[in-house]
Structure 1
């Protein structure tokens, strides 16, 4: 099947849907989702969305907090743009139907999280992302120019490479004409031609064994752009959320929001001793990179598999009111958080790097934009400040939509795009090759490219991954396309990028921490 649209949006989270809503007045929009519209990283975001709302908070404080959390590697222009545009975008979310919690006096009930100097986190209970996702889907479904396609997997974007033209990585004339997508219902790879393409495919968490990300987060957009010779940057900055619920049987790991530490929860060892103050003067409200490394160090020193988050000293009814999802989830596992400490462990959570974009959301590939976690905007630097991710996604979707709305007027569909060529391929009957290789990739990344890294571990990871890469590329060339095989291929690409960029960074900055061992 071949289909033409003005705007192709790959991904249905906050970045993809808000972009779709804003470009819909300017042309036909197709939003594709690899599973269901609701299954996104946005849906799983618990804590909230940061924005300056009331005094004594101001833009300078939010900017300073972001720069400090990013270890001064953030792009000041990107930080300023996102922070200063935050209030307007929050109003837009509210107009689209998002409900943020308010106090009895009618003011927004703001939370304070690690790294923030003021209360500025707007939230909906402890499932803010779910509420935003709900509102965006409902709003987008009312727009006649927006079409949705579920269970559609983007295999590769279409560029000059498919036209037989040789394009080198350092050239700046690569153009995007749409994407080849796998329709899981038919098993066929269809051709979607678009004037403008928005990559909003979320994160990479599932290249690790333990992650808070949904299973769809396999780095697809980053891998596609990398293969198309687009610029990828800062992949070494993988953020591990310090507090996921310890439950080895569950994937994804259940997130214990950072807002709980802002509420007053205390990290403790199994013996009940609090430990954060010896790592940072901010104690339990230190930024995530510091907290994750502290927990990792405590676990290694004690030999334990987890530490505890203690909220038992807080008012039980208030705790249940503020964190109902967490309360009920822990209760299912036999832990009453109002009376018992919560077992927690760090888990792969967020990628600060990705597809390099400018201040208008444009990637290095012409007519290809990126927003959300798959993009690298410069906002986060070496470490994302809590609750800045949803904000970044909607601000960059907004600036990208404004630019794309003008650009689309001058673009014509590329003609003579070939259909997907699967001649000579056969069905892969050895699924074990994919499932076992997937496990190998996750083990390699978790064991050698985790919270603390060393030259020896990174070299070993690269050697192992290069062998797997060659095997998987041969399998891909010989096999009819499946989602499982494409995801494996993408995870290997992303793992390679993280390792290579981690090797180049010799220092400990933010979320890339080098072992002090010389090797």
Structure 2
């Protein structure tokens, strides 16, 4: 099968590009594949909103400064300025496509404020902003005749020269992907003039995460195996306030940063408002500070969780702004008006990933990337709240702009079919589930919020054994989604651990005990 543009992923990044390129070139074909339902993505679960400068009191300069402070010296300032300045234009497009955002009585946007922001600038739709954006984009995509969207199609690997016998095939070039139709159980090739990876984050590598079950780092792992440049994987943002579930449910529900923006307090079990002792901004400190502070508090007390106290807030306002959170708490037998909400940090967002330039180009020809699977330079060592949806919109536009100005030669290459000769359907999948649980426990215990070279070195040894076992199983077994996801997560874990070992100073969301000791020794 051939297409002009192949998009892997159906979140805000992939769909924005698909809409724009399909409208611009109605005679060209766009194929979007996604491994679950078409609306299942990290975008769907984004509660907070989109950070955009709209208020007279605000300015691009202030937004840039807040982003640079959160990124702790590792942001690319040119990228930050570009993304921030593009915000209002990209919001106009969302509105034209039918996305709705909350307004006040006078019809102006009801802007929110979150940790790390100096002004009110978060455009939101209640506490389900991502869900609303996803709805509008999918509606738009289905109106376009030259876009085909296939759900339950899993991209196994990118097609590069080492898959192709044809002498015309060039080094360091992507020609499409091998795709697994999960319902039919068949694997086929999609040859593409240009391929866009918009496959989301890696939260499931840690198990306890605010991400959906699909966030298994597939895009990053495929790019890694294709020899793309991947950086800053050590910078993983842990959301400070995921709803604690005593049953150990891995699908952690996110209690939005905007709840603390409204004035909620963090307390330990005896009621002490501990954030006052860690940062002068208290609960409104950036996510890395709040997460590390909670981690420190839990290590000191031996407790499993802390609490978010909303009992002093206007409960009717709370219900209005956070209906989904209020409903979830109610279902968990928590009355927000009288009870503290038990919370714990959970893996939330990856600041690194596939290295891309301002046009979204990777280090591999004809391969672009956008969204959470990328490292653009915007986030540096720590993402400022609600900058990620903005980044996806801006980079999807930049990739579209690049494709509008550059044409791609359609090569008539012979791409061999997927070869699974000699493989069998495994009688039992216990090896997959066992290794998945082992991997997630390993990452939580050895590669968590606070790290050390000792634990990281041990983690690599365990991971190498696991990797060898899974690769052997992969060679012998017929492809399944769960097996490919496990293989991808192991690749991602290797990247996180090795780049954590290499990082010699603590920055933003990255904190390694050895770096403190080395600095003390040097001093």
- The CA distance in 2 between the partners of 1:249 and 1:500, in whole Å, is 28
User: Can you list the C-alpha shifts for 1:235-254, whole angstroms capped at 9, x where unaligned?
Assistant: 00011000000014433200
Query: Which residue is equivalent to 1:338?
Result: 337
Please report how far the alpha carbon of residue 316 of structure 1 lies from its aligned counterpart in structure 2 after TM superposition: 1.2
Please give the secondary structure, in 2, of the residue aligned with 1:7. strand
Where do 1:281-296 residues align within 5 Å? 281-296=280-295
Query: Which residue is equivalent to 1:214?
Result: 212
Where do 1:196-235 residues align within 5 Å? 196-235=194-233
Q: Tell whether the 8 Å contact from 2:198 to 2:219 is kept in structure 1 after alignment.
A: yes
Is residue 92 of structure 2 the alignment partner of residue 91 of structure 1? yes
Higher deviation after alignment, 490-499 or 418-427:
418-427
Q: Tell whether the 8 Å contact from 1:194 to 1:413 is kept in structure 2 after alignment.
A: no
- The CA distance in 1 between the partners of 2:323 and 2:286, in whole Å, is 24
Query: Which residue is equivalent to 1:48?
Result: 49
Query: Which residue is equivalent to 2:456?
Result: 458
Query: Which residue is equivalent to 1:260?
Result: 259
Higher deviation after alignment, 156-165 or 130-139:
156-165
Is residue 117 of structure 2 the alignment partner of residue 116 of structure 1? yes
- The CA distance in 1 between the partners of 2:124 and 2:408, in whole Å, is 40
- The CA distance in 2 between the partners of 1:48 and 1:514, in whole Å, is 31
* Alignment size in residue pairs: 511
- The CA distance in 2 between the partners of 1:403 and 1:468, in whole Å, is 41
Is residue 71 of structure 2 the alignment partner of residue 104 of structure 1? no
Please report how far the alpha carbon of residue 137 of structure 1 lies from its aligned counterpart in structure 2 after TM superposition: 0.4
Is residue 494 of structure 2 the alignment partner of residue 496 of structure 1? yes
- The CA distance in 1 between the partners of 2:351 and 2:231, in whole Å, is 9
Q: Tell whether the 8 Å contact from 1:157 to 1:179 is kept in structure 2 after alignment.
A: yes
Please report how far the alpha carbon of residue 448 of structure 1 lies from its aligned counterpart in structure 2 after TM superposition: 0.3
Please report how far the alpha carbon of residue 165 of structure 1 lies from its aligned counterpart in structure 2 after TM superposition: 8.9
CA RMSD after TM alignment:
1.3
- The CA distance in 2 between the partners of 1:478 and 1:38, in whole Å, is 33
Q: Tell whether the 8 Å contact from 1:193 to 1:413 is kept in structure 2 after alignment.
A: no
Structure 2 residues without counterparts, runs of 5 or longer: 519-523
User: Can you list the C-alpha shifts for 1:391-447, whole angstroms capped at 9, x where unaligned?
Assistant: 00010000001112333x332134111111111111122300000000111011000
Is residue 352 of structure 2 the alignment partner of residue 353 of structure 1? yes
Q: Tell whether the 8 Å contact from 2:161 to 2:171 is kept in structure 1 after alignment.
A: no
- The CA distance in 1 between the partners of 2:422 and 2:288, in whole Å, is 48
- The CA distance in 1 between the partners of 2:354 and 2:365, in whole Å, is 13
Query: Which residue is equivalent to 2:521?
Result: none
Q: Tell whether the 8 Å contact from 2:194 to 2:408 is kept in structure 1 after alignment.
A: no
Please give the secondary structure, in 2, of the residue aligned with 1:452. coil
Q: Using a 3 Å threshold, how does the CA distance of structure 1 residues 243 and 414 change in structure 2: closer, same or farther?
A: farther
- The CA distance in 2 between the partners of 1:203 and 1:377, in whole Å, is 14
Is residue 413 of structure 2 the alignment partner of residue 415 of structure 1? yes
Query: Which residue is equivalent to 1:5?
Result: 3
Please report how far the alpha carbon of residue 367 of structure 1 lies from its aligned counterpart in structure 2 after TM superposition: 0.7
Query: Which residue is equivalent to 2:484?
Result: 486
Q: Using a 3 Å threshold, how does the CA distance of structure 1 residues 327 and 421 change in structure 2: closer, same or farther?
A: same
- The CA distance in 2 between the partners of 1:417 and 1:165, in whole Å, is 8
Is residue 16 of structure 2 the alignment partner of residue 29 of structure 1? no
Please give the secondary structure, in 2, of the residue aligned with 1:155. strand
Is residue 82 of structure 2 the alignment partner of residue 81 of structure 1? yes
Where do 1:67-466 residues align within 5 Å? 67-163=68-164, 173-247=171-245, 248-407=247-406, 409-466=407-464
- The CA distance in 2 between the partners of 1:164 and 1:71, in whole Å, is 47
- The CA distance in 1 between the partners of 2:224 and 2:309, in whole Å, is 43
- The CA distance in 2 between the partners of 1:234 and 1:414, in whole Å, is 37
Query: Which residue is equivalent to 1:169?
Result: none
- The CA distance in 1 between the partners of 2:166 and 2:4, in whole Å, is 24
- The CA distance in 2 between the partners of 1:175 and 1:395, in whole Å, is 25
Q: Tell whether the 8 Å contact from 1:319 to 1:338 is kept in structure 2 after alignment.
A: no
Q: Using a 3 Å threshold, how does the CA distance of structure 1 residues 232 and 414 change in structure 2: closer, same or farther?
A: farther
User: Can you list the C-alpha shifts for 1:456-515, whole angstroms capped at 9, x where unaligned?
Assistant: 000010010011111111111111111011000000000000000000002211111012
- The CA distance in 2 between the partners of 1:420 and 1:504, in whole Å, is 36
- The CA distance in 2 between the partners of 1:227 and 1:315, in whole Å, is 52
Normalising by the residue count of structure 2, what TM-score does the alignment of the two structures yield? 0.96
User: Can you list the C-alpha shifts for 1:349-399, whole angstroms capped at 9, x where unaligned?
Assistant: 000000000010001110111000001101000000000000000100000
Please report how far the alpha carbon of residue 278 of structure 1 lies from its aligned counterpart in structure 2 after TM superposition: 1.2
User: Can you list the C-alpha shifts for 1:26-78, whole angstroms capped at 9, x where unaligned?
Assistant: 22100101011111000000011100001110000000000000001001111
User: Can you list the C-alpha shifts for 1:259-302, whole angstroms capped at 9, x where unaligned?
Assistant: 00001011111111101121111111000000000000101111
- The CA distance in 1 between the partners of 2:49 and 2:439, in whole Å, is 32
- The CA distance in 1 between the partners of 2:79 and 2:166, in whole Å, is 34
- The CA distance in 1 between the partners of 2:86 and 2:59, in whole Å, is 13
Please give the secondary structure, in 2, of the residue aligned with 1:513. coil
Higher deviation after alignment, 491-500 or 397-406:
397-406
User: Can you list the C-alpha shifts for 1:152-195, whole angstroms capped at 9, x where unaligned?
Assistant: 000001011102599xxxxx941111000100111111100110
- The CA distance in 1 between the partners of 2:8 and 2:404, in whole Å, is 17
Q: Tell whether the 8 Å contact from 1:154 to 1:181 is kept in structure 2 after alignment.
A: yes
Higher deviation after alignment, 115-124 or 243-252:
243-252
